[in-house]
A and B are shown apart, each in its own frame.
Chain A
Amino acid sequence: MITATNLSKIYNGTKVLDIEHLDIPSGQNFGLVGNNGAGKTTFFSLLLDLIEPSTGSIFNNEITVNQSEKWKSFTASFIDESFLIGYLTPEEYFYFVGELRNRNKADIDSFLERFGDFFNGEILGRKKYLRDLSKGNQKKVGIVSALIGDPEVVILDEPFANLDPTTQIRLKKLLKEISGTSGTTFLISSHDLIHVTEVCERIVVLDKGVIVRDIETSEATLAELEAYFSREIIEG
């Protein structure tokens, strides 16, 4: 579904991302982990054509993302709060995104019914603008809006951060459910190794922009990741 070849991004002479080849097949739950500055958000931004690659290219369903806009119709994403329109209420925002994805109001209303628990009564019908919601609630709106219209590819940057424990668990359940039934390709980055190993079938570890591990998730994955990330502490 997604292929990156010779992809690199250079800022002021520093290579922040350098991926020789990465192939993510359709329907895979793909997890991206790495410390701060490892290049996770850079990779997602390149994938969404928000920044220009220094070399190489990314193909989303065989469309070169920085040449055509066609990938937009089947790709949804939530990176940060700059993906929310602050002066809209959550409902209006959902309807707006729905309209962009050819879903009418009734479709969206029935779609939102599934998320009653997830929203915990704090989002819908509160007559508040998005800019006045808490960080966690903003995140919930962003994540749910990225699921509107059955996109084939969903990109979520740190979806678990800022969420309360109950919602984190609900989100995991939700992501597993959706990928199980619809075959959506999820790309998720996270700092939480437990969550990411639970949700993703495959985990790639980035370090200073380079892929250092590419693991099919199994029972042993969590231990392996923990060992990897604590190696420097043990050595030091």
Chain B
Amino acid sequence: MFKKFIWLEWKSFFRSASLGKSLGLKILMAFLALYFSAMFLIFGIALFPLIKKFYPEGDPLLIVNRFALIYLALELVFRFMLQTLPVLDIKPLMVLPISKKKVVNFVLIKSLFSYYNVLPLLLLIPFGIFCMVKEDYPVWNILGWMLGMYALILCVNYLNFIIKKRFTENLKALIPVVIVAFGLGLLDYLGIFSISIYFGKLLNILYANPVLALVPLVLLIGLYFWNQINLKGKFYLDAHLKGKKQSVDTKEFGWTRRFGSIAPFLQQDLKLIWRNKRPKTTIYLSFLFLLYGLIFYPNDAYQDMPAFFVFVGIFITGIFMINFGQFVPSWDASYYPMIMAQNIPMRQYLASKMGLISFSIVVLAILSTPYVYFGWNILLLNIACALYNMGVNVPILLYAGSFNKKRIDLDKSPFMNYQGTGASQWLVGIPLLLIPIFFFWLFNKFISYEIAVAFLAVLGIIGLISRPALLNFLEQRYRKRKYVMIQGFKQKGD
């Protein structure tokens, strides 16, 4: 039976609509995977000597134990954001004579072969071997310790799934957990109640008595069964539907009326953003990135390179533009035929997208005004960057968008989600950021800071003035690409 499942997985991977189309993306992912593997391996080998160097008085293994809990907690956070339960498409299997238990076991066991479980091994094994071979630690104790540690890491693997299952539908329920974790971390940090030290002491005991490695193993098996029960309970179609009974949010965004003919579209886009997970996250990200300037403005290292502040300025006023704009019109992928057949002129559709993005730039620019604290020149530069974003970058992004033909599922989280990403998303970043930086650098170096700022602003204003002409051009472009887009948006799956 397992063979059959693996066969299914294999087919679904190689027959997915976008295999081959996103080769560049695959290469990037492979490169990242190799990079992280190498980093972990190097760190694993160097860990023992490093600790010896920084804590010459302690036993390196005990120091590793002391930090083990912090490591595990961090790993949980990263897994929560990045790792997803490898769900087999179970719907078609439900009516076939396959026992639920088998399907659930397959999903759970498959998760063990995730890349996230290989990485810690690259850390753990070299460190263990180093201890045994070079430093003459007792072999059985080290083996027991390694087994125990790895079991704990796999516990994190399964714990993550339980947390995800429980909290993805209801993120607010996560708040108390986060507060407790934060509190414990704070107490630990202040040295009032050092939970990580207690945990380290437990690991020390485990090291002294390698038989105790069975304890984390039992914990692991327990978590496995908990997951099994959890998943088996969800193995019904209506288990998926149950949560959706509550009545829905019907905000009207009536204030958009004053924007005239593009008002209905604007309203539409706001609902799109507000009611779907992926676009909604772009809003939160925008506010988060507003703080980006705090990293750069106070830092002396960047004071001599004002060109770098252009990057920051484009970024903080345009983060929503970049995150949202690069996927226009993929956001509307699931009903793009309707948009095309309804009484919606292409020009108005594009104008409303431009309007929405420009609006976000204005809001972010206003919110970034407190940076005047770091000097007037920074405020002026940010305003110039905002103008440049509105006038030049928005049309560039929409032009790049006309190459989009990949569907986006609105309900999926955007973290490490490359759905809808194609070569154009990577390429568009270059003109978006590099062109203004280059011009600024040129004018700043050979004329003056003020002229450089003014030049960016003027470019932006020219773009704004020629917007009707740009819209005409974009309209032609989108109409030419229309059939390819409709065709592409139909393709489901990653």
Query: Do the beta carbons of B248 and A128 come within 8 Å of each other?
Result: yes
B479 to chain A, nearest CB (A): 8
In the complex, whether A170 has a CB less than 8 A from a CB of chain B is no
Distance of A129 Cα from B341 Cα, bound (Å): 22
Q: What residues of A have a CB within 8 angstroms of the CB of B272 in the complex? A: 87
Do residues A84 and B335 form an inter-chain contact, with CB atoms below 8 A? yes
Interface size class of A (residues with CB under 8 A): 20 to 34
A164 beta carbon closer than 8 Å to chain B: no
Report if A49 contacts B (CB, 8 A).
Answer: yes
Q: Is the CB of A69 within 8 A of B346?
A: yes
Contact of B344 with A by CB under 8 A: yes
For B483, the chain A residues whose CB sits under 8 A away are 50-52
Within 8 A of A (CB), among B230-272: 241, 244, 247-248, 250, 264, 267-268, 271-272
**Contact call A127/B275, Cβ cutoff below 8 A:** no
Which one of A52, A73, A85 lies within 8 Å of B335 (CB-CB)? Answer: A85
Bound complex: CA of A168 vs CA of B490, how far in Å?
A: 28
Are B244 and A87 touching (Cβ within 8 A)?
Answer: no
Q: How far apart sit A129 and B250, CA to CA, in the bound complex (Å)?
A: 10
Residue of B nearest to A51 (CB): B483
Note all chain B residues with C-beta closer than 8 A to A73: 343
Q: Is the CB of B336 within 8 A of A100?
A: no
Inter-chain contact B248/A72, CB cutoff 8 Å: no
Indicate if the CB atoms of A82 and B338 lie closer than 8 Å. Answer: yes
If the complex has contacts A82-B334, A87-B410, are A69 and B250 also in contact, measured as CB distance less than 8 A? no
Residue of B nearest to A155 (CB): B341
Q: List the B side residues contacting A59 at CB < 8 Å.
A: none
* A132 engages B244 (CB within 8 Å): yes
Give B319-352 as 1s and 0s: 1 = Cβ < 8 Å from A's Cβ atoms: 0000000000000001111101111111000000
Q: Is the CB of B344 within 8 A of A72?
A: yes
The residues in A between 84 and 105 inclusive whose CB is less than 8 angstroms from any CB of B are 84-89, 92, 96-97, 99-101
Chain A residues, Cβ within 8 Å of B247: 127-128
CB <8 Å contact, B342 and A127: no
A115 within 8 A of B: no
Cβ < 8 Å to B, chain A residues 63-89: 69, 72-73, 75-77, 79-80, 82-89
A83 and B338 contact, Cβ closer than 8 Å, known pairs A72-B343, A73-B343: yes
Number of A-B contacts (CB under 8 A): 78
Residues of B within 8 A of A85 (CB): 268, 335, 338
A93 vs chain B, min Cβ distance (A): 10
Is B486 in contact with chain A by the CB < 8 A criterion? yes
Known: A83-B337, A87-B275, A127-B250. A50 touches B486 (CB 8 A): yes
Size of interface on B: residues with Cβ below 8 Å to A: 30
In the bound complex, residues from chain A placing their C-beta under 8 Å from that of B343 are 72-73, 100-101, 149
Nearest residue, chain B, Cβ from A75: B341
Report how far A71 CA is from B334 CA in the complex, Å: 23
Supposing A69-B345, A72-B344, A96-B264 touch, asked if A84 and B338 sit within 8 A by C-beta, the answer is yes
Q: Is A196 an interface residue (CB 8 A)?
A: no
A99 and B334 contacting across the interface, CB-CB below 8 Å: no
Q: How far is the CB of B385 from chain A (nearest CB, A)?
A: 33
Nearest A residue to B263 via CB reads A99
Q: Decide if A129 touches B248 in the complex (CB within 8 Å).
A: yes
Chain A neighbourhood of B490, CB < 8 A? 82
CB distance from B274 to the nearest CB of A (A): 9
Separation in Å of the B17 CB from the closest CB of chain A?
A: 16
Question: Which B-chain residue is minimally distant from A142 (CB atoms)?
Answer: B338
A104 CB to closest chain B CB (Å) equals 11
- With A84-B335, A129-B248, A132-B244 already in contact, the answer to whether A50 and B271 are too (CB < 8 A) is no
A48 at interface by CB-CB < 8 Å: yes
CB distance from B471 to the nearest CB of A (A): 14
Query: Which A residues lie within 8 Å of B344 (CB)?
Result: 72, 100
Residues of chain A within 8 A of B337, CB atoms compared: 48, 50, 79-80, 82-83
Q: In the complex, A73 Cα to B244 Cα: how many Å?
A: 36
B12 within 8 A of A: no
Docked CA distance A76–B338 (Å): 10
Least distance between B249 CB and chain A CB atoms (Å): 9
Q: What are 20 inter-chain pairs, A to B, with CB distance below 8 A?
A: A50-B486, A52-B483, A72-B341, A72-B342, A80-B337, A82-B337, A83-B335, A85-B338, A86-B334, A86-B335, A87-B275, A87-B410, A92-B271, A100-B344, A101-B343, A127-B248, A127-B250, A128-B248, A129-B275, A132-B244
Question: Which 8 A-B pairs give the minimum distances between C-beta atoms?
Answer: A127-B247, A83-B338, A99-B264, A48-B341, A87-B275, A100-B343, A72-B343, A82-B337
- Given contacts A72-B344, A86-B334, 14 further A-B pairs with CB under 8 A are A51-B487, A69-B346, A75-B341, A79-B337, A79-B341, A82-B490, A84-B335, A84-B338, A87-B272, A88-B271, A89-B248, A92-B250, A92-B271, A127-B247
Interface of B toward A, CB cutoff 8 Å: 241, 244, 247-248, 250, 264, 267-268, 271-272, 275-276, 334-338, 340-346, 410, 482-483, 486-487, 490
A binding-site residues for B, Cβ under 8 Å: 48-52, 69, 72-73, 75-77, 79-80, 82-89, 92, 96-97, 99-101, 127-129, 132, 149
